[in-house]
Structure 1
Amino acid sequence: MEQSQSSEPKNNNRVLLIVALILVLLGINGVLFYMNQQKGKQNEQLTADIKVKDTKLEEQIKQYEALKADFERQSQEVQGMGLANDSLEAKIASINADLLKLRSFKAGSFSVAEQRRFKQRAANLEGQLRKKDEEIAQLKQDNEALYTETTTLKERQNRLTDTISTVVKSNQELSEKVTIASRLQAENIRIGVVNARNKEKDDDDNEFKAKRVEKVKVTFNIARNDVSPKETKQIMMRLIEPDGAALYNLSTGGGTFMIDGSEAFYTAKQDLVYDNSRQPVQFLYAKGAPYKTGLHTVELYEGGVLIGKTTFTLK
């Protein structure tokens, strides 16, 4: 009887221990289940965030592609009106660079800061786009008004008498003659060369040794012209090598100008206040590289018109 009573507390203790273990296991499972739930929610949230970022990125790319198409349209419209479109071409190049950057983002890497930056830039571009559209619309309106006015003037002109037409024609011919008469001419054109020791050499035959040429010196006088107005004139000098190409370097004063409606390169230029006194003019040009052998040509221009020309040979 006593043995039965002593075993009963042991059995109770064992049951309690088993219950406690079960409760502990249930608690651990509950914690693990909660942690797995939280991790699943975090993964779902992360996946959702990545999708949102990717969606934002796709939307931004589409917006920039639309902006590019609109700026290209504007560029074509401006070019069609015969106007310069350099600023629009620069914007298109900038948008292309932005598109390249946007397309380089990996999945989910389009940060909020980048979203804001590209969104703000797109807003600025849209503002510029609207403003340019307004300018283009105004230009078209002005061109239409000018076209209407020009058409009206032509119709009126066509109704003038033969006598007035003859007078107009005579005035035009006279104006052309005055324009031609007022053109400057370069006279006494001479070519000299300067070697590396800064020693100058002239030759009546205009023949020099190429390896000794450091600089080419061109001197001449502006011929008297009582018709040409006394004002600042811009003289361009073209030094043309044997292969027909004009020497051109921005760092040494080269550039472009128009000759008979076509763009051409000039080697050097200088401004001259014309005073009708047979002023001397000098160009001293250093190529900075060995000169080619063969026949070289020097052309002088004022107002896009040839005013003098000569040649020299480097052997």
Structure 2
Amino acid sequence: MDENKSQEQPSYMKPKKNRTPVFIVVTFLLLTAVVFFYYQNQQLEDEKEKQFQEILLTQAKLDSVGKELDIRIQTIRELGGEVDTLEAIKAQLEADKKQLLVDAQYQRGQISKLNNRVDGYKELLLIKDEEIKQLKVLNDQLAEENTTLKVEKNQLNQTVQQLEQNKKELASKVAVASRLEIEGMQINAINDNGKERDGGEYRNRHIQQLKIQFTVVENEIAPIEGKELLLRVIAPDGNVLFDVTRGSGSFTFENREMFYTAKQEILYDRNSQLVTFLYTKGSEYAVGQHKVEVYTDDYLMGKGSFMVK
């Protein structure tokens, strides 16, 4: 038993095991894991960068197509074409752009589809360019036709204006030609005894009443109607003999008021007609020449004169 004890050795006296290989293996594994994760992370970063560049490129394509769509929409609208389809496509494009920026899941799955859609948009733009060419040709034709119509309208307006002018001139000529005239005015004096004197020169004592007689001449184009004849007897001082109690009044001639001495209404039937005015003044006449004028419808029909001595 003592011999066995002498053979046993304390634990600190036992030889130590070599752990270096284990440490090397563990270190290798850790380094391998670090390298693997670094490589994997680098791949992910590269993939993200690649995806980001694809997003930017796709975004640029969508922006470019959007601007081209705006140009086509404006051009077609100005040419009078339909733009509903293009506006719907533009709205879809804007929605795609917005979704591309905010939705990562959408980004990974839709970039390729959007690129294909951009190609479709470009083909649509080419189709719309052809439509724009046709619309421009049509608008040029319409503009030319419109110009022709404007020229024809101007010519027609000028013709109508000329016809209106001719009509007015003709109406004016007819109005002038239809005016009534008088001839053969005879102014006689009747005294208190009813004796009538002629000759155009009278003394006051011979003029108890004036007899003014004339003929309204024949006019085939004058209307058949009642005519009011206005007689003006004008004294040497320029004043019109005027007495309301004896039928005097006023009328408008060339935009100014004028007085008349007496009036008489006749029915004119286009034939010559003898008209007689009898005027009693009631007082002596001024010495000198007196004028006599006859008006109707605001125009002068004729005139005469007599002398008081």
TM-score, normalization by structure 1: 0.48
Larger radius of gyration: 2
